[in-house]
Amino acid sequence: MKQKLPMTSAILTNKFERRTFVLGMAQAGVGTLLAVRLGYLAIFENDKYKAASESNRVNLSLIPPRRGWVLDRFGQALASNRADFRVDLIPDRVVDADATLSTLSGLLGLTADKVGDIKDKMEKARGFQPVEVASNLDWEKFAAVSVRLPELPGVIPQRGYSRFYPTGASVGHLVGYVGPASAEDYEKERNPLLITPGFKIGKDGLEKSFETRLRGVPGARRVEATASGRVVRDLGTREDVPGKPIQLTINAGLQDYAARRIGLESGSVVVMDCETGDVLAMVSMPSFDPNSFSDGIGRIEWKMLSDDDHVPLRNKVLRGLYPPGSTVKPMVALSFLEAGLDPEASVGCAGGLRVGNRVFHCWNHRGHGTTNMAKGIYQSCDVYFYHFAQQIGMDTIATMAKRLGLGQEFPMPYPGQSYGTVPDPAWKKRKYKTDWAIYDTVNATIGQGYMLVNPLQQATMASRIASGLKLSPRLLLDRHAPRPESMGFKQEHLDYIHAAMNEVVNGRGTAGKARLPIEGVQMAGKTGTAQVVGLNVGNGKGGLWKHRDHGHFICFAPFDKPKFACAVVIEHGGGSGAAYPIARDVMTYVFDPAKAMAVLEDFEKQWGGNVQQRMAAKYNAFAAQYGAAAPAAPDEQQASEEVAAENKPMPEPTAAQTDAAPPAPEPVPITDPAEQSAPAPVASPSPAAIPGT
């Protein structure tokens, strides 16, 4: 009906009024909706948004805690902190990376390779991870960056603390180093402290093992900051709680001395206390400088370290495995005594011994004549041991080797240690599915063949032989530790071995030059030379560095009242002659530091300075040669992985190919210099064991 009506002005007006009313109601409805929404946000959700607004307004910036110190046994710092000025970058906040870096390199005087390092790190870092630009800045440079801050978004100058290792490379492997947390670290531990500029976590060694103890509790600075991060005002600061210190059994002076004394060689020195098992020095050289590692590993430094065939990144004390050579002879002799062998039982050494259808030579192929146990030790006569080892049997020898610590695991706070092998018939059956052969015994008894040990085990062996106590290497100082129990050896057996070992140094033995220049202190020791390649490749004395024999020396002093034991391993030193002078000087330092230091200073003049000076010179040479062209250093994660890879346990010999390892030549006793000649090659010489390079 309505539709049919003609449209009139009145109807339209009426319609307009109705519809306007509807429109007005709709507007009122929207108004009510908005009011309700406003009330919901402002009243009902007030708490939530208040918190959100506060967390916007207040910026909590963490102050990295000062790391706990690492102290030596006398309280001297091996790792401490020093106040410094530093500059970091947060890639996310940087607007123009190139311009920022070029401004910074102008202000801070960064070299091209440093700028390259920073660029690499910026690319690899997740945006929120701070990247270190420079640390240890002087006040002028720090201030220069600080005043230019408005044009350098993302740049954070800070004064804080950085890790400092007073003796540098000497403690590189002992203490480890620190570095910025990697993305993986952050993933594992979602702690905002990890991405705080200037904060570092332990990356290796003790720094890593004792991370939780050393870390401490961060301080905090509450500031009111704008959305772009500009600080408007300070709201308060909470001081950090420094991490707890750890005190080691190490003697800092001795550690440093030993590191310096190794000189240009690649080797390890371990010194232990014969009453407690305290490790007084544990050195692997060459090493890296943990100070510069902790500032970030630069490309030149990385190239320098990874190009070095002396593997400065490997902790040789715990991860280097070597055939121990003749240093096992006192141990083997002790097992003979335990097994009831009369020490006066003799064998005539004519320079070799036929075993089966093969002749095993003595290192002195002219022969030692009638040889009893003492002479077997101090002259290091191989034939004596070939003969009686066959008589006593490998199981007895292997049991003694394990009792004295060879092939054993010691709970040292380092990841990825290598423990080596003490072979016995059961082991060979398990490993190679072949039966133990008599020549395996012959090889093992002179510390060749399958036998592999690390220098710490050698030091432990020396300390156990010296003291007759069941000593285990201890790195953390504990003055209330229980006294170690006795090994249960007969004192007369020990006295016999001690006397023979004393003869090595102070009598008719193989290391007369190792005599201590200390009045009233006599050192007992045993030399060892381990072949690296068969005599068909090289004679072990000269030629390619990598083909030279390893030099070993174990010792303790004073011989009649053992207090200190020491093991020295020099990789490719060309024989024990490279090892025992170092042992002598290190032991001299224990009793008379000044005297030892005088000797060292003379050496360092020939070597071109101390460790630090030599590393600096090498660095400069590399920088001059490669500059920014050196390949980029791996990021922290990769670097520590590569360091770990360096430290992977040595591969076991893959095949039983050690049937007739020739005895390594011993250094000629000073009493008879004419005898310096290499032993004749044997029938089918083959590499004994090739410790990796």
Partner 1 sequence: MQRAYIPQIIARQPWQVIIPLTLLVVFGGAVLYSAAGGHFQPWAAMHVARFFVFLVMAMLIARIPQDLFKLSALPIYAILCLLLVLVELIGGIGGGSQRWLNLGFMTLQPSELMKPGIVLVLSWFYSSLPVGEVNGWRAILPPAILLGIPAGLVMLQPDLGTGLAISFGAVIIMFLAGLPLRLFIGGAVAGAIAAPLAFFFALHDYQRKRVLVFMDPESDPLGSGYHITQSKIAIGSGGFLGKGFGNGSQSHLDYLPEAHTDFVFATMSEEWGMIGGLFVLAIFAIVLRWGLKVAMNAPDRFSRLLAAGMTTTIFFYICINMMMVMGLAPVVGIPLPFLSHGGSSMMTNMICIGTIMAVDRWSRRGSSGLV
- Of the pair 33, 60, the CB lying nearest partner 1 is at 33
Distance (Å) of CA 344 to CA 177, 334, 384, 434, 498:
53, 13, 11, 35, 16
Taking CB under 8 A as the criterion, which residues in 66-125 touch partner 1? none
Q: Cα(559)–Cα(502) distance, rounded to whole angstroms?
A: 6
- Interface with partner 1 includes 1 (CB under 8 A)? no
User: Per the omega criterion (within 30 degrees of 0), is the bond before 558 cis?
Assistant: yes
Q: Which stretch binds partner 1 (CB under 8 A): 51-59, 64-72, 123-131, 666-674?
A: 51-59
Residue with tokens 């360091």, as numbered in its chain: 643
- Of the pair 14, 613, the CB lying nearest partner 1 is at 14
DSSP of 273-323? ETTT-BEEEEEEES---HHHHHT---HHHHHHHHH-TT-TTS-HHHH--B-
- Of the pair 227, 674, the CB lying nearest partner 1 is at 227
Rounded to a whole number of angstroms, the minimum distance from the CB of residue 126 to partner 1 is 15
- Interface with partner 1 includes 16 (CB under 8 A)? yes
Q: Centre a 10 Å sphere on the Cβ of residue 342 and count the other Cβ atoms it contains.
A: 10
Rounded to a whole number of angstroms, the minimum distance from the CB of residue 12 to partner 1 is 5
Rounded to a whole number of angstroms, the minimum distance from the CB of residue 131 to partner 1 is 21
| Residue 35: partners with Cβ closer than 8 Å, 6 or more residues away | none
Q: Which of 20, 391, 613, 677 binds partner 1 (CB under 8 A)?
A: 20
- Interface with partner 1 includes 370 (CB under 8 A)? no
Rounded to a whole number of angstroms, the minimum distance from the CB of residue 254 to partner 1 is 56
- Of the pair 90, 689, the CB lying nearest partner 1 is at 90
- Of the pair 17, 342, the CB lying nearest partner 1 is at 17
- Of the pair 5, 624, the CB lying nearest partner 1 is at 5
Burial state string for 109-121 with b = 16 or more CB within 10 A and e = fewer than 16? ebeebbbbbbebb
Residue with tokens 């030599």, as numbered in its chain: 614
Q: Which of 4, 6, 344, 674 binds partner 1 (CB under 8 A)?
A: 6
Taking CB under 8 A as the criterion, which residues in 168-227 touch partner 1? 224-227
Q: Centre a 10 Å sphere on the Cβ of residue 87 and count the other Cβ atoms it contains.
A: 23
Question: What is the SS3 assignment for 454?
Answer: coil
- Of the pair 57, 648, the CB lying nearest partner 1 is at 57
Q: How many residues does the chain have?
A: 693
Rounded to a whole number of angstroms, the minimum distance from the CB of residue 230 to partner 1 is 9
Q: Indicate the Cα dihedral angle 436, 438, 442, 445, nearest 10°.
A: 50
- Of the pair 45, 96, the CB lying nearest partner 1 is at 45
- Interface with partner 1 includes 27 (CB under 8 A)? yes
Residues near partner 1 (CB under 8 A), total: 43
| Under 8 Å between Cβ of 348 and 547 | no
Furthest-apart CA atoms within the chain: distance in Å: 145
- Interface with partner 1 includes 19 (CB under 8 A)? yes
- Of the pair 6, 673, the CB lying nearest partner 1 is at 6
Which parts of this chain interact with partner 1 (CB under 8 A)?
6-9, 11-13, 15-17, 19-20, 23-24, 27-28, 30-31, 33-35, 37-39, 41-43, 45-46, 48-50, 52-54, 56-57, 224-228, 232
